[in-house]
Amino acid sequence: MNDEQLQQLVEQISLEWFKRPFLHRAFFNRRLKTTGGRYHIKTHHIDVNKKVLDRFGIDELVGVIKHELCHYHLHLQHKGYRHQDKDFKVLLKQVGGSRYVKNVDDNVLFHVYQCTCCECLVFRKRKIEIKYYRCANCLSALVYVGRHKREDFA
């Protein structure tokens, strides 16, 4: 996906979910390190971390775009556009945007496994071959949950 396709996707999501046009620019920002996306209050542009698409796929990208569009539309309508504002929370829920923007920094992401029996979680920096591992508490098999921050389970 290139910037032009991203632009089209943002315009399309804006009309479909917010019933309002997106009249500014959206582009991939390759320098964003840890955040998934960003809305610029001064220019009204939206930039999105390319890693969101590469690592988490199109659904997560759409979730991030919806999140940034909530900031965008509320800000332009002079409503509460910040995370802690009620307007933001309500709109985000309505359109099904990502609640928090996933942290895409490799350093804080773990491969997470869960015991099929006692449901305890196992965090590993490197992917493990689950057929060779057992839960340390009850020796049951593990299943792979995905890549997450520890805080995601806090």
Q: Which residues are at the interface with Zn ion (CB under 5 A)?
A: 115, 117-118, 135, 137-138, 140
Active site residue 60: no
- Lookup: tokens for 36: 């998934």
**Among residues 53 and 65, whose Cβ is nearest to Zn ion?**
65
State the number of CA atoms in the 13 A half-sphere of 110 facing the CB.
Answer: 12
What is the nearest approach in angstroms of Zn ion to the Cβ of residue 39?
A: 7
User: How far apart are alpha carbons 98 and 61 in whole angstroms?
Assistant: 9
Q: Which residue lies nearer to Zn ion by CB, 46 or 135?
A: 135
CB of 23 to Zn ion, least distance (A): 19
In angstroms, give the least distance from the CB of 117 to Zn ion: 5
Question: Please, which residue, 23 or 139, has the CB nearer to Zn ion?
Answer: 139
Q: Which residues pair with 110 in a beta bridge?
A: 148
> Residues 16, 68, 119, 151: which is the catalytic one?
68
Kindly state the greatest CA–CA separation across the chain: 56
Between CA 128 and CA 126 the distance in angstroms is 6
Catalytic residues: 68
